Each structure stands twice: as structure tokens, then as C-alpha cells.
Structure 1
Amino acid sequence: MPATRRTTQDNLGAVMARLRRPLSLTWAGLIAERLVRAFWPVWSLIAAGAAMLMLGLHDIAPVEVVWSALMLGGLALVGFAGWGAMRFRFPRRAEALARLDAAMPGRPLAALADSQAIGAGDGGSETLWRAHQARMALRAAAARAVEPDLRLSRQDPFGLRYIALLGLVMALIFGSVWRAGSVAEMMPGATPGAALAQGPTWEGWIEPPSYTGLPSLYLADQRELIRAPVGSRVTLRFYGEVGALSLVETVSGRTGDAPEATDTEQRFEIAGNGDLRIDGPGGQSWQVEAIPDAPPQVRVMRDGLKTTFDGQMSQPFEAHDDYGIVGGSAVFALDPGQVDRRHGLTVDPEPREPITLDLPLPLAGNRAAFIETLIENLSEHPWAHLPVTLELRVADAAGQEGVSEAVQMTLPARRFFNPMAAAVIEQRRDLLWSRENAGRVAQVLRAVSYLPTEGLFRSEAAYLRLRVILRQLEAMTDDDGLSGPERDEVAQALWDLGILLEDGDIGDALARMRAAQERLSEAMRNGATEDEIARLMQELRDATQDYLRQKMQQAQRDDPQNGDQQSAENMMRMTQQDLQDMMDRIQELMEQGRFAEAQQALEEFQQMMENMQVTQGGSQQGQSPGQQAMEGLADTLRQQQGLSDQAFRDLQEQFNPGARSGQSQGNEGRSGGDGRGQSHDGQQGQGGGEGGAQPGAEGQQQAEDGQGAEGSLADRQEALRRELERQRQGLPQLGGEAGEAAREALERAGRAMEGAEEALRGDDLAGAIDNQAEAMDALREGMRNMGEALAEQQNPGGQGDAQGPAGQAQTDPLGRDAGQGRQAGTQDNLLQGADVYRRARDLLDEIRRRSGEGERPDVELDYLRRLLERF
């Protein structure tokens, strides 16, 4: 034998000695793989049959069906076993060796079994061959057993084996192995002796009602004492000779309808305490303690009743039950004994059903004990502000009902402070009390509306509406009497009229706001709780919003020529958002315990609301050309701010899609964002245009077309630049250094706008933002210099007050108080209070936060750093 071949055999033998264990495991896995693939229907059928027997399905099926199923199952089992035996091939050791070799790179075992075919006898070739054999031997030494492939997805595409295994697991959990033995009694030729040989057995369990959420109790595992809820269902089954086992129980309370004690199946419910005993071989006894289901309880929390200014009631209540409440209702019933039977209430009332409202229940969590709040507005009900009794009723799953103690109260509803509104609502109540009051209601309404004094009706529309309702009521009464639907129609009209009269009275709104302010101030002085202060703060917010709304309506009534709602909103020198910010500041100070500062801020807020005036806007008669030019430049500055905001948002979207960084509460620009100041779509920029549009309305129209939602950002920037050029050419003659500085600053602003336009057309958003910032700085400088020049023209000596009507301080076009000396105005009405500093601080913190996020684009980070360097 050649030396190379002998060496190969030696290497292979040594390697095979080391691979004995992984080769044996691979061979065993190959055997298991072929067994599973050949016989999986057999064990699946066995698992399905065992599951059905352990679940006791044969006990509820007819005997014929059981026989047929057993025969078919047996035939199927034999058939699948034969089919598997035909398919099964016992693997040879060579097959295991081939699988182990195939799992390694280069098939080292096959390489070790090879012999050198070329170059035998050549020293170099033999050396190379030995090196190759050594490398293959190293690879073979690292062999690991190959895992068998036991997947059966191709043989069982419908997952029948999993269904059988699932049934077997469910049977092991919920079934019993003893049930399978009873199938022998159903086989043909079975004798009672077979059952007797096994002896009598029993099984039983107790199932509590489903709403309790308690688990079932298996009797064989229970001790002498069993505690179960009332209504639990007991199930017992006796196996073996009939009569060998019997039941004795005193827990169900059954008498005449009870079945025989020796019946093979017993079912009853636990009604009370007693004993449960099984007599016979293997019997057992228990003492049963029945847990009663207590009725639910509910309680009205009298101290928590709240009523908002519009009549919305919030009544908290507390309810609890041992297992949980499933429903409830609140019933308001009229208390006739407490009603003051005077005026329209002297007649007997028409019968009405009690008010029934569904109680709110927790959407999630435990309903065994909870506190909820019933919220409803009953202001339009005929019993509003009349004595009623409130009862809460709750029910549990067992059908038991709990009723709270009747609480006497006045039905919460909206209060009307306007005398005429209160009278109308009172007559509406009398009409709903009884239709017999229809004639009296008509007389009273005619009396109170006869020759009304000035101020009784806020508008002619309210007076005319009352007269129409009055005629309609009298006409209906003169006919065949007032029917139910007609009465309800008139009542609804009276309610709408009362709301119109009440909400249209700004004096009452101011009184409510003052009262809310006084209550909040008193609560802070007396050290009220946080909940009380929060409630009073919310009342102040609601009253302030109502007062502002009334103030706006008064402005529209007093200035009918400027009745546009948007213009009326623009006339407010202090916006509603500014007031909300101030109230937020007050609440923040109170939450921090700084009550002295909160009290001072509240006093400033009171004085501010008292002195707030609605100025007439839209008309610019009496303004000088310089003032008109200042307003036009101010509008241009706001539009440029909006364009800059839009450019910044586009930059954010370009490098961070989906980001809406520009939508901040501090954004008050125009035509570019969601700021909280003026409209961002050019709705409020007409003033500036009109101010300078007298010489050339065409340019203003062009500017307006440019700021609309249509067109690109570059086109809008171009239109704004042209508008600035038109305004610059139409400036009044201004002398002195201030006038020259104003013109130079506006020229710089125009050049910066032109640079921003070019950058926008070149998609250089960062450069456009820089140019826009430069344009806004130049505009501000030009307006400041122009204001100084106008002040020099009006007061050349630099002394004295600005021109204006006697006894009235002159204001500049921006609405600021007149400045001293050569100053055109002050910043008092533009930047006030700590809210401004807080807003600036928040913006600066946001810029710092974003500048520290390294994942943002470089161009954005550069822009943020420039902002930090500037501010």
C-alpha cells in the first residue's frame, strides 16, 4: 500500500474516532426526522381522540355516534400506521455521515477518504497532499451534530397537528382522565361488572356567578369548609353502579322539585349556609358558607355641587358594591310642599314625569368603588330653580338596586341678572307650569313691555321679538286654547329671547367679572385651598371671556359702519390671548405660593379691565400723511415677519420632514404662520395699505395679491419689496438728520428684501432668512428715525406735549402713548408685564435646545448660532 494512501486511512480513522458522538446524534436526529414525517397523522389522531374522551364528549353524544366514531377512528389509526410504515426507511450510518459532512465547509470527511490521484511519488505533490489532508482533518475535528428538520409544514399545510395538540392541552386543564374510562361501558358486550370492578367514583365543582370574577372550585381539592357566593352553581356526577353514591345537601333550599339523591348527575345553586355530603364509597362532606351579595350603595356628595354661569350642573356622587355596579340613574322629583305657591305658581301644576338622567360610570378600572360626577344642564326645564328632591339609584349584576337618601335642593340652572331677561324667563316658567297661565303670561309681558324706558331693551330686535311672541301667544290663547306643542314652541321662543337679553347686557358681564375677581382676591387673602383657588380662577376666566365678548358686541353696535367682525376684533387694544396670558401668570404665581405677587398682578388685571376701551378703527380721517406712512410701514414690517417665519418653517421641513418648528405660540407674524396675533393671510393688513394707498391704490392691490396664499414665497417677497418702494416714494418731506436717516434705512431695507428675493429664487433659505432679518432691522430703524422726524416737525422746540385734543393724550399710529421730548412714542403698550420676559426667555431656551441637537442640518445649526449671537 502506498505511503500516502496509508496516511489517508490513518487520518480518517483518527477523525472518525473523534466524531463518534456527533455522528451518533446526527444519526438519531435523522431517525426522529423520518419517524415524525411518516407517523405524524398517527399521534395527531391519538391526541384528538384522547382530548374528546377526557372532555367527556362521549357522555353527551348518543351511543351509536360514539360507536361509529370509535370504529372510524380505529380504522383511520390502522390506515395511517400502515401508510407510515410503508414510507418509513431506517437511515443508514453512511447517510448520517454524509449529512454531517455536508454541514461542514469543503466536505472534509469526503476529502479525508480520498486518495491522491495525480503526482504520486513526487515529493512536492505528496507534501501538498499531506497539508491538504491535515487541514481537512482540523475541519473535521470541529464537527458538530446536525439538528434534525422536524418541520411538517409541507406534509400538514392546514396545521391539523396543532389543533389536536391544542385540544389535548385543553382537556388536560379542564377535563378529567377518569372520564375516558366511562367509554368502556358503551362498548357492545359491556357488563355492569366491568364498572363495578372499577368501583364507584364521583366528580364535582362549584361555579360562582360570572359577574363575581371568582374562579371555579373543584370539590375533590376542597377542605371541610367552602366559602362561595350566593347563586353559585354546584355540579356533581356519579360514576359506577347506580345507587352506590348519593347526595345529601342543605344549601339549595330545594323541597318538592328536588331530584333523587342517587341520580348520576346533580345540579343546584347555593342559596344559603348548609352542609354538602356525598355518601358511599369514597364519599366526602363539606360545610358550605354562602357569601351574600350585598346590594349596592350610592351617596350624594352634597358639598361638591357646582353650577357654572351658563347653568351647567356638576353633582359628584360616591357608589360602591362588593362586585361592581352595572348601571344607575339620577331622579329629580318636584317637591310640591316646598314650592312657594305665589303668582303664576298658585294654580295646580300639570303632571310631569320626574327628571331621570343616566349616571356616568368609570370607562375603565374597578366599578366596585368609585366617585363620579353627574354633569347636566337643566336650565330649560320647567322646574329650574324650584325645590326638588334628588335620588340616585344604582344596580349591580345580580339585579339588586341601591337608592340614596333623598336630598332636598333647588334644581340648579342658569341665573339671569338682566331684569327684563329675568322677567321673560319667569313668565316662561309660569307658562310651562300650567297652560292655564297663558292669559296671565300675556298680560304680564304686555305690561312690562309697554312704553319701555331707554335701556330696557338693548336693541330693537329684542323688543320686536318680544312683541311677536306676545301676539303669537295671544292668538293661540284666543282660539281653542293652548295645546302642548304650541306651549312648547312659545316657551322655546321665550328662552331664546331671555338669552338674547341676558347676553346682550355688558353691565351684567362686568358685574360677574368683578364678583369673580373679588372672590378670587378674598380666597387668596384667606389662604383658601388649591382646589378652591383653581375653581375661582376658572370662574374668572369664564367671566372675562363673557365680558370680552359683550365688549366686542358693544363695539359693533356703537360703530355700525364698521360692523365687520374681523375689524371689530382688530379694534381691541389688548387681545383676549394677552389677557389669558396674564391670567396664566396669576395662576402660576399662586401655584408657586407667591400670593403677594399674585395679588398685585390681580389688581393690575382688574384696573386694566376697568380701563379697557374699544377704540374706533378702520377710519383714518384726521390722520396726517406722516401718521399714515408710519402705519403703512408697520404693516410692511408685520408682513415681512410673516414671510421670515414661513421661510424658517420651509427650512425646517427641507431638512427635517414633518417638523413644524414655526408653529409656536410666540409667533405673531403674518402670512407665514400660526401665530396668535393678527391674521396670517393678509386679512388684517389693509390698514397699512390704505394708509399709503391714497396716492396709488394699484400698488396696494399688487401687494395684497402678493401676500395671499397663492404664489411662491419669492413672489410674495417681490410684491412686498415693490410695496415698500411705493411707500418710500410717497413719504412726506422730512427734514433734519432723522429724516435723512429714515430714508437711508428704508433704502437698506429695500436692498435686503431684494437679496432675500434672489436667495428664495435660488432655494437658499438660510441666506433669505438672513436678508429678511436685515430688512426687518432696517425697517425698525427707519420707523424709529421717521417718528423722531415727525416729532421734530410737530414740536420743533422739543418741549411740551404732543398735539392732540384738549384733555386727551396724543397716541402714535401704533397706539402707543406719546413720548417725551423728541421721542415719537413709548413701548409701554407694546411690551408689558412679566409675560413678555417669560415669552422671550422661553423662545431663547427653545433656540438653545435646538442648537444643541447634533442631528439637525448644519445650515440650520449655523442659523440658530447666529440667533444666539445676536440675542
Structure 2
Amino acid sequence: MTETNLSLEAALARVKLPLALTWAGLWLERITRAFWPVWTILLGLFAALAFGLQDILPLWADWAGLAACGLGVVWSLIAGGMRFRRPGHDEVLDRLDARLPGRPLAALRDHQAIGAADGESVAVWRTHIERMTERAAQARPVAPDLRLSARDPLALRYVTLIAAILALLFGNVGRVIGVQDLAPGPGAALAAGPAWEGWIQPPAYTGKPSLYLNDITRDGFSLPVGSHVILRLYGKQGALKVTQDLSAPAPTEPETKPTGPASTDPSAPAQNFDIARSGTLAIEGPGGRSWKITVIPDGTPSVKFLGTATRRASGEMHQRFAAHDDYGVTTGRARISLDTGALDRRYGLAVKPEKRDPIVLDLPMPISGDRTKFDETLIENLSKDAWANLPVEMTLSVEDAAGHITTTAPHQMVLPGRRFFEPLAAAVIEMRRDLLWSRANGKRTAQILRAITNKPEGFIRNESAYLLLRITLRRLERANEEGLTKEVRDEIAESLWQVAVQIEDGDLSNALERLRRAQDRLSEAIRNGASKDEIASLMDELNKALRDYMRQLAQQQQNNPDKQSAENQQSLKITGDQLQQMLDRLQQLMEQGRMAEAQQLLDQLSRMMENMRVAQGQNGMPIPGQQQMQGLADTLRQQQGLSDRAFRNLQNQGQGQGQQPGEGDMGMGERPDQPGQGMQPGQGQQGQGGDAQALADRQRALRDQLRRQAQQGLPGAGTPEGKAGREALDRAGRAMDRAEQALRNNDMAGALDRQAEAMDALREGMRNLGRAMARNDPQQGQQGGNSDQAMGGQGRDPLGRQTGETGRMGTDRSLLQGEDIYRRAQELLKELRRRSGDQSRPEVERDYLKRLLEPF
């Protein structure tokens, strides 16, 4: 044996394991490439049988599929055998050697061709052989190349593999083993004799399990109506026969139809039908059996009202109801229609009403738990609806999973809505109701609103509400001349709602005025027969106002102990000791229904309040200029809302379309920290598409308002800060004039620039005037009466939070503590439920909201 052969054998001995693994990988690679269709077909067949495809297809289709799979396997084996080549020893060496640098295994098989007699040449050759031997020892196994993408571009091997895995997890392997039962002729089935199998599947909504008929030994049992029967007959056709009278409709119920097809051939191998009535099921023949099946009818659901609808102080309707069904209620609806027979057709309701669709609300269903028997509360705020506080008829309907629907008899009621106790607010709401009742009331509504706003001095104390009411009035009069459309009518109705809310809730900063207002509203509620919930809400308002009033009296006494008169001290003592007792007595009388005595006690409390004074500044005097600063703050907020509206109009012009529903803005009088005042999103004088002239009118009204405020004695007269503040307000007025002109020219971009200048000048003027107030009243500055406070809350961020002590935004105070957390969570949950039941919202949004509610 030559030296080269010895070196090669030594090298192969050192790489024996890598060589063996490479050889096995080469075998696997060639088998995979040659026979991959075989196991692809077998895996697909396994998955189909495990999932029971043979039970769905007719018998001929089953055998056709099996034959096709068999032929495919045979063809794949033949074709694979022709393609397959057994890997040889040299091929393994070449594959392993190809991965080594310099191909050392090939070098070890070489022989020295020349120089064999030269000693130096032989020494070089030996050195070369030793190096190649060392390199060969570094060999590592070569992984097989199992990529089949070129041969299987559709990745069928992966599809069948995944299907087989799913079949193992969710299928029935026993169906694969029992595939021989498909034999229609002589075979295993005939050798064993005729056989049968049967299953009964009750409807899914009943929650009852499936039954295997072969395991049922009793002669009779009960099943829900609509249960699905599956029968399989094996062996020679005709040896077994099925007889049943379950799927045929009963003679007394001609409308009942079976939901599943029943085989007309009683000896057919596969039979399926639904149970529609009580009867007998029998399998006649060897090993046959019969059962007496009693059908359990699916009862219709029931629903009823629990008491009458109640109204919360905010106008929210609460209507309790109870529902029942043997298997559970799936959905429910509340339908509200106008009760024209019980309606008092006077004044604005005398004309023929416009046609309105009934109000349809989704009944709340239990998110978790049993729905067979439950009671819930329908909560909805319909205060803005045209039928609010009018007689209506409500019907409730529920539906079960079988499609049975039950509807209650009409329930007559007054549709709960928010009540307005301020006479002016109630009048505005009545005009809004008449306008929604019919557009024919447009002229009458405009006449009454013009009469209301004719001489507002001393009558309409809320200036922003007055301005908005006048703008709305002009809009209504113009629409009456041009033709009042539904869209414009709805916008005007929304504006009237905001006016009424501003008038009812007010924006009073004086504690005594708030207290008087709370007393007046409570007195009006007593006279109008308000509900307990409304009176409780007004009592809470009165208590809060009284606490604020007492706090200011105590602060006055603490700050000016030497100058506090004996009369005020006695008043304070009476207020602290006796007023709370009077309030407790007042609440007790109202809870007992003794409204006349409650009214007398409330009048006595009002007279007592007249003898008391609130000290807001030093020595019991009001802080000079505070009211003017509050007015300037309101003007700034209104200018911000107007600028926002102009910006949205500019966006709509750029998009080439009008304002879409839901696009909001803040109208005049709306505060960023007090949502709900002013114009609501998507509502306003402008309407969809924009109305530059209406915005210009509002800008002019705002300019006039600023001029009047500048003439009412601003603080800081004669001081450098006061002079600088007045100059800044003059610049703001001139910027407002230029903004108005730009709006009339439909130059929205220019108007936005001028409005920004006006707001900057207003802020600068208010800062200077606030410094002047702080200089004139050092005590006020020590007690937190800084310029920000004088600016009427300008020290708050857009979310209504107080700014930090050093001017930074935010606060270290915890925003939600104690009960606030649960109150806010309850409010959010209530809002989610309300929106999920809103039929006007998109189905996708309602489904999302319902999924949010599922954990709760």
C-alpha cells in the first residue's frame, strides 16, 4: 500500500463521523426530492379523513377521492423511483471535500507524477500530504439541501403539513381508522353484517350536549325542537331502513317547516333531518332500535315594565324592565312614539307636526351571567329630542336565539327630559320645541324671540347668552325669508339649547348671587312640582352655594377682625348655627311632601340672606375692577372660539367641501374649561359649508362688547401698567375690526391672522391690568389674588387644571382621589353604554364599544 493511500485512510478515519452524517444527509436530500409528493398526498388525505370530510360528501365522491389519492401515491412512487439515485462513496467525499479549503480529500487521493526519484521533491510532497491531512481533520458534516421551492412552487407540502397538525389537535383520528366502513360492496362491512350509527345535535343556543344514539338504551327521551339528527347505515343497502315522523310538520301547525332536509329514501346510507314535532324514530333491520322522542317546544320570550320611568336632574331617563326566556334573550329594543291623543295641542303644538320616525333604543343586556331571567335599567338622555317632556308611548320587544319576538303593550308616559326652572330658559326651550315640532312655527318663534330680546337690560343677565340668542334670531329670520330647511332648523335648535343651558346654569362668580340663584331655582322647582331627584340636585346646589357664602364671611372676619361690626358678627353666628338647621328642616319637609311649608321656610331663608353681605375684598368692599377683568376673560374665550370656527372654515375651503357632521368648534361664550357652554361641535350660526358673513357679524358683536367693557372703568387708572393695558386693548379692538373686514371679504387666512393679533393684545392688556390690580391691593396679592386669578381663571390650562406656583403648567395636586375615582369611572361606563345603544352610530363603532363593555 502506497504512502498516499495510507494518508487517505488515516484522514478518512479521522473524519468518519462527519462523513457518515454527510452520507445520511445526502440520502435524505435525494429521498425528499424524489418522493415529496407521496407524503404530501398522504398528509392531505389524513387531514381530510380526520376532519370528517367523508361524512359530508356522498359515497361516490368519497371513493373517487380515495381512488385519486391512491393513484397519486402510486404515480409519485414510480416517478420518484425513476428520479432517485443512490449516493455513492465518492459523491459523499466530494460533498464533504467541497466545504474544506484546498479540497484536502481530493489531494490525498493524488499521486506524485514526477520527481519520485528526487529526494527533495519527495520531501515537499510529504509536507504537502501532511498539510492536507491536517486540513481534512477539520471536516464538519454537510447539511442536506431540502429546499423544494423549485419543485413545489405552491408550497403544497406545507399546506398539508399544517392541515395534518390541525387534524391531530382538533380532528378525530378514529375516523381515519374507520375509513373501511365506506365500502359499499362486499368487504369488511359485509363480513360484520349491517350496522348503523346515529347522532342528535340540539340547537347550539340551548347549550345541551350532543347525543350518540348507539349509547341510548332507554325507549324514550326529550329533545329541544330543531335538534338535528344524523344517521349512517353500513352494509348492504336495504338491509337497514329508517322510519320516523319527526321531521314532518304537525297537521295543526301548517306554518312549521323543518329546517333540515330529510331523505326520501329510508334505506339511504346517510340521512339527516331536523326534529320539528314529537314522534318515533326507528331503525328497522338486524340490530335495529326505536325511540319515542318528545319535543320540548321553544317558548317565546317575555318582557315587562318595572314601574314608571324616572327622571334624573340632568334629564336622564331611567326605565327598569324585566325579561325572561327559557334559553336566554339575545337582543331587545325600546320603541318610543308620540302619543298624539294625550297631547295638549295649543300654541306652537296646534299646527300639524312634521313626520318623525319613532325613537328606537337598544335595551341593555347583561354583559356576563345568565340571560334567561334578568332585570335591567334602560338609561338614556333624550332631553334634546323634539318629544322631550311630551306624552309618548313606549313599547319593549325582546328576541331569543330562535327568532321569537315578544312586544309589550304600549306604555303611556311623559318622555323624561331636562327641566328648566329659570323662566327665560324655559321660554327659550319652548320655542325650540315648537321649531322642532314643525318648521311652520319658524315665524312665530322668531317673533317671540325678538320680543324676549327687545329690552334685555335687567332681564337677561348673561351677556354671552344674549349675544348668542340675538345671532340665532337673525339666522332664523334670514332662514324664514330664504326657506327654512331641516338642516338649518336643527342648527338653530342646537343654538337655542345652548342659550337655555347658559341661562339656566349661569356663570356667576359672586357667592351671594349664586346663593340667591339657587334659592330661586329651588323655589321654582317646588312650584312646578319637580321630581325628588331634581329637588335633591337643587338642594345640593343650595348647600354648595351656602358653604361658599359662609366661607367668604369667615374669611372676611379673619382678615378684618378689628373692623368687623357687631352686627356682622351676630349674622355670622346665626348663619353658622341656624342656617344649616333650616336647610335640614327644608329638606325634611320636601321629603315628606309638605311643599307649602317648605316654600315658607325657603322664603324665610331668602329674607335672612338679604341682611347679610359677602366680603370679597379688603374692609368688606369688592375688589375694584374684578368684574371688568372677568368680562375681558369672557371676551378672550369668545374670540378664541370664533377663531377656531374660522380655522375650520378655512380647512373646509381647502378640502373643497363643507363641514362634515361631527366637526366641532367653540362658539361665542364657550369656555375651554367649561364644556357645554356656547355652541356645540358641529353646531353654529354658520352651518355646514361655512358662512363668512355670519362670522363677521359675530366678530362685530365681539368688538362692540370689548368697546363697552373698555368704557366701564378698567382698573389701574393713572398707573403705567393701567396705561399699557388700555393701549393693548385698543390694539385688540383695531385687530378685531380688520378681522371683521377680512371675514366679509371671505379671506379666512387674513381673518385668522388678525384674530391672533387681537387675542395676543387682549392677553397682554389683561396681564398689565392684573399687575395694576395687584399693586393697588397688596392684601389681595398676598392671598392669591394674582393677575392670573384676576383674569378670571386664565391661570388654568386647557384641561381646567391650575397652573403651578412658578408658572409651570400642571399641578402637584392629585386630580382624582377617593370618591372621584369611582364617580368618574361610573360616568365613563354610563357613556360607553349610551353610545353602544345609539342606533345612529356605525355598526363597527357599536361593536367596538360592546367589546369594551364585555369585561364589565
What TM-score results when the alignment is normalised by the length of structure 1? 0.49
Deviation at 1:13, TM superposition (A): 5.7
- The answer to whether the 8 A contact 2:228-2:273 is kept is yes
One of 620, 623, 626 as aligned partner of 2:720? 626
Structure 1 match to 2:760? 685
Paired with 2:225 and 2:177, the residues of 1 have a C-alpha distance of 30
- The answer to whether the 8 A contact 2:305-2:320 is kept is yes
Pair 1:397 & 2:401 matched: yes
Deviation at 1:157, TM superposition (A): 0.8
1:837-865 CA-partner distances (Å, limit 9, x unpaired): 6787986989xxxxxxxxxxxxxxxxxxx
Pair 1:155 & 2:151 matched: yes
One of 270, 273, 283 as aligned partner of 1:268? 273
Identity value in percent: 34
One of 519, 529, 535 as aligned partner of 2:540? 519
- Largest Rg, 1 or 2: 1
Structure 1 match to 2:7? 8
Pair 1:201 & 2:204 matched: no
Paired with 1:293 and 1:252, the residues of 2 have a C-alpha distance of 16
Pair 1:815 & 2:820 matched: no
Paired with 1:326 and 1:194, the residues of 2 have a C-alpha distance of 49
Decide whether aligned partners of structure 1 residues 184 and 350 sit closer, same or farther in structure 2, where only a CA change above 3 A counts.
same
Letter in 1 for 2:773: G
Pair 1:616 & 2:709 matched: yes
Paired with 2:474 and 2:788, the residues of 1 have a C-alpha distance of 50
Deviation at 1:357, TM superposition (A): 0.8
Q: Which moved more, 1:266-275 or 1:386-395?
A: 266-275
Secondary structure at the aligned position of 2:759 is classed as coil
- The answer to whether the 8 A contact 1:8-1:114 is kept is no
Structure 2 match to 1:331? 335
Paired with 2:471 and 2:762, the residues of 1 have a C-alpha distance of 37
Q: RMSD of the TM alignment (CA)?
A: 6.9
Paired with 1:688 and 1:91, the residues of 2 have a C-alpha distance of 90
Letter in 1 for 2:273: F
Spell out the pairing of 1:377-776 with structure 2 (5 A cutoff): 377=382, 379-382=384-387, 384-388=388-392, 390-403=394-407, 409-419=413-423, 422=426, 499=497, 502=500, 505=503, 514=518, 518-519=539-540, 565-566=638-639, 616-617=709-710, 623-624=717-718, 626-628=720-722, 631=725, 682-686=757-761
Decide whether aligned partners of structure 1 residues 490 and 631 sit closer, same or farther in structure 2, where only a CA change above 3 A counts.
closer
Decide whether aligned partners of structure 1 residues 150 and 464 sit closer, same or farther in structure 2, where only a CA change above 3 A counts.
closer
Decide whether aligned partners of structure 1 residues 220 and 681 sit closer, same or farther in structure 2, where only a CA change above 3 A counts.
farther
One of 86, 90, 93 as aligned partner of 2:89? 93
Secondary structure at the aligned position of 1:394 is classed as strand
Decide whether aligned partners of structure 1 residues 842 and 278 sit closer, same or farther in structure 2, where only a CA change above 3 A counts.
farther
Letter in 1 for 2:239: A
Structure 2 match to 1:246? 241
Deviation at 1:411, TM superposition (A): 1.0
Deviation at 1:262, TM superposition (A): 3.9
Structure 2 match to 1:795? none
Decide whether aligned partners of structure 1 residues 577 and 36 sit closer, same or farther in structure 2, where only a CA change above 3 A counts.
closer
- The answer to whether the 8 A contact 1:203-1:219 is kept is yes
Q: Which moved more, 1:201-210 or 1:30-39?
A: 201-210
Paired with 2:204 and 2:674, the residues of 1 have a C-alpha distance of 56
Letter in 2 for 1:60: P
Paired with 1:413 and 1:688, the residues of 2 have a C-alpha distance of 40
Letter in 1 for 2:269: T
Letter in 2 for 1:566: Q
Paired with 2:467 and 2:43, the residues of 1 have a C-alpha distance of 89
Decide whether aligned partners of structure 1 residues 103 and 405 sit closer, same or farther in structure 2, where only a CA change above 3 A counts.
farther
Structure 1 match to 2:58? 60
Deviation at 1:211, TM superposition (A): 5.5
Pair 1:358 & 2:357 matched: no
Pair 1:235 & 2:230 matched: yes
Structure 2 match to 1:35? 31
Deviation at 1:254, TM superposition (A): 6.1
1:498-521 CA-partner distances (Å, limit 9, x unpaired): 758745747867679746685167
Secondary structure at the aligned position of 1:381 is classed as coil
Letter in 2 for 1:241: K
Spell out the pairing of 1:334-353 with structure 2 (5 A cutoff): none
Letter in 2 for 1:56: Q
1:747-789 CA-partner distances (Å, limit 9, x unpaired): xxxxxxxxxxxxxxxxxxxxxxxxxxxxxxxxx9xx9xxxxxx
Decide whether aligned partners of structure 1 residues 521 and 348 sit closer, same or farther in structure 2, where only a CA change above 3 A counts.
closer
- The answer to whether the 8 A contact 2:316-2:380 is kept is yes
1:60-81 CA-partner distances (Å, limit 9, x unpaired): 3879x977x8888777666554
1:385-415 CA-partner distances (Å, limit 9, x unpaired): 2454543222133112355797664311232
- The answer to whether the 8 A contact 1:417-1:502 is kept is no
1:363-406 CA-partner distances (Å, limit 9, x unpaired): 99889589675435254434x32454543222133112355797
Structure 1 match to 2:786? 829
- The answer to whether the 8 A contact 1:26-1:147 is kept is yes
Deviation at 1:359, TM superposition (A): 0.6
1:726-760 CA-partner distances (Å, limit 9, x unpaired): xxxxxxxxxxxxxxxxxxxxxxxxxxxxxxxxxxx
Decide whether aligned partners of structure 1 residues 86 and 139 sit closer, same or farther in structure 2, where only a CA change above 3 A counts.
same
Secondary structure at the aligned position of 2:153 is classed as coil
Paired with 1:296 and 1:321, the residues of 2 have a C-alpha distance of 4
- The answer to whether the 8 A contact 2:199-2:213 is kept is yes
Paired with 1:814 and 1:166, the residues of 2 have a C-alpha distance of 80
Paired with 1:632 and 1:235, the residues of 2 have a C-alpha distance of 92
Select the structure with the greater relative contact order (CA < 8 A; seq sep ≥ 6): 2
User: Gapped runs of 5+ residues in structure 2?
Assistant: 252-257, 509-513, 522-536, 548-579, 582-626, 644-668, 676-705, 730-753, 790-794, 796-800, 814-856
Structure 1 match to 2:697? none
Secondary structure at the aligned position of 1:149 is classed as coil
Paired with 2:10 and 2:453, the residues of 1 have a C-alpha distance of 127
Paired with 2:435 and 2:396, the residues of 1 have a C-alpha distance of 29
- The answer to whether the 8 A contact 1:251-1:273 is kept is yes
Paired with 1:428 and 1:576, the residues of 2 have a C-alpha distance of 23
Letter in 2 for 1:155: R
Decide whether aligned partners of structure 1 residues 303 and 181 sit closer, same or farther in structure 2, where only a CA change above 3 A counts.
same
Paired with 2:74 and 2:711, the residues of 1 have a C-alpha distance of 100
Paired with 2:419 and 2:504, the residues of 1 have a C-alpha distance of 15
- The answer to whether the 8 A contact 1:26-1:96 is kept is yes
Paired with 1:469 and 1:73, the residues of 2 have a C-alpha distance of 80
Spell out the pairing of 1:141-152 with structure 2 (5 A cutoff): 143-144=140-141, 146-152=142-148
Letter in 2 for 1:94: D
- The answer to whether the 8 A contact 1:812-1:824 is kept is no
Paired with 1:464 and 1:104, the residues of 2 have a C-alpha distance of 91
Paired with 2:157 and 2:712, the residues of 1 have a C-alpha distance of 87
Decide whether aligned partners of structure 1 residues 488 and 135 sit closer, same or farther in structure 2, where only a CA change above 3 A counts.
closer
Letter in 2 for 1:359: D
What TM-score results when the alignment is normalised by the length of structure 2? 0.50
